[in-house]
Structure 1
Amino acid sequence: MSTVKETVDVEVPLRRAYDQWTQFEQFPKFMEGVEEVRQLDDRHNHWTTSIGGVRREFDTEIVDQLADDRITWRSVDGETRQRGSVRFERLDDAHTRVELTMEVEPTGVAEKGADALGVIDMRVKGDLRRFKNYIEGGGGEGEGWRGRIRPEDPGAGTGF
């Protein structure tokens, strides 16, 4: 399992940064290799990715979500095994720190080689940079999901 942790400061208020991150179907606008994200319900998303010519589909489950603070997820179906958390920290009225931590289990020779070369780290860093450019450039002005998902809620396990 490979762990990646990256941070970016964005020039938008905390609520706007958090709200944008909850609009999962807009992820392809700033995440390289993400072709589509379909939100199935408040807790589940279906992902289609194409990275290095390898196309994958998988589902994720949100296991902990607190508005303006954090979103934690895990993969639940498909070939991709990952879990992670994104945290939001108010720096001042106009700036927010976004910290993304992911644990990814590379499968196959190509993915293991890419991981060894630091490709996953570079991709996450690039995705956060593109998120910064996207949100500071006026993208994603919509209202986010403000609900609460607790780790102890049914179906909110933390393992794979």
Structure 2
Amino acid sequence: MSMVKESIDVDVPLHTAYNQWTQFEEFPKFMEGVEEVRQLTDRRTHWRTSIAGAEREFDAEIVDQLPDERVSWRTVDGEVRQMGTVTFQSIDADHTRISLAMDFQPEGMAEKAGDMLGVLDRRVKGDLKRFKGFIEERGRETGGWRGRISPA
């Protein structure tokens, strides 16, 4: 497994950043290569991606979610193996630090080579920058889910 860790500070309050992150179906608006995310249940999402010509579909399960603090997930079905956690930390009333840590299993020669060259690190950094632009430009979240999902 390969590990990616990135952080970014956004100019919105903690609850705004967290609420927007829970709107998984909005991810294609700021995540490169993510074609579609469907929320199947409170715990489960279905993803369709197209990255460097490789199309993949997989399901992910939210394994831990605590409002205004963290969302943790793992893939459970499909061609992609990953798990991760995104955390939210208030800097002050109007600024939030978002930190993402993700373990990813590269498959095939192209993904392994890309991993060695830091492609995933750059993609995650770019996705966080696009999230920052998305939420700061709007100034408010498109929705929010404040439920608690506890680890099994």
- Which category of TM-score, normalised to the shorter sequence, fits these structures? over 0.9
- The Cα shift of 1:14 comes to 0.3
Q: Does 1:93 align with 2:97?
A: no
Within 2, Cα distance between the matches of 1:108 and 1:38?
A: 26
- The Cα shift of 1:120 comes to 0.4
- State how many pairs are aligned: 152
> Can you list the C-alpha shifts for 1:71-100, whole angstroms capped at 9, x where unaligned?
000000011000000000001100000000
Q: Does 1:82 align with 2:70?
A: no
TM-score, with length taken from structure 2: 0.98
- The Cα shift of 1:143 comes to 2.6
- Aligned counterpart, 2:146: 146
Segments of 4+ in structure 1 off by > 4 A? none
- Aligned counterpart, 2:128: 128
Letter in 2 for 1:88: F
Letter in 2 for 1:85: T
Q: Does 1:106 align with 2:90?
A: no
- The Cα shift of 1:141 comes to 2.8
- The Cα shift of 1:139 comes to 6.7
Within 1, Cα distance between the matches of 2:75 and 2:60?
A: 4
What does residue range 32-43 of structure 1 map to in structure 2 within 5 Å?
Answer: 32-43=32-43
Structure 2: 5+ residue stretches without partners: none
- The Cα shift of 1:142 comes to 2.5
- Aligned counterpart, 1:26: 26
| Pair 1:73–1:134, CA change in 2 (3 A) | same
Tell me, what secondary structure is at the counterpart of 2:132? helix
Structure 1: 5+ residue stretches without partners: 153-160
Tell me the C-alpha RMSD between the 2 structures: 0.9
State percent identity of aligned pairs. Answer: 65
Tell me, what secondary structure is at the counterpart of 2:138? coil
Tell me, what secondary structure is at the counterpart of 2:102? strand
Letter in 2 for 1:110: A
Within 2, Cα distance between the matches of 1:57 and 1:106?
A: 15
Q: Do 2:12 and 2:139's aligned partners in 1 also have CA atoms closer than 8 Å?
A: no
- The Cα shift of 1:34 comes to 0.3
Q: Does 1:52 align with 2:55?
A: no
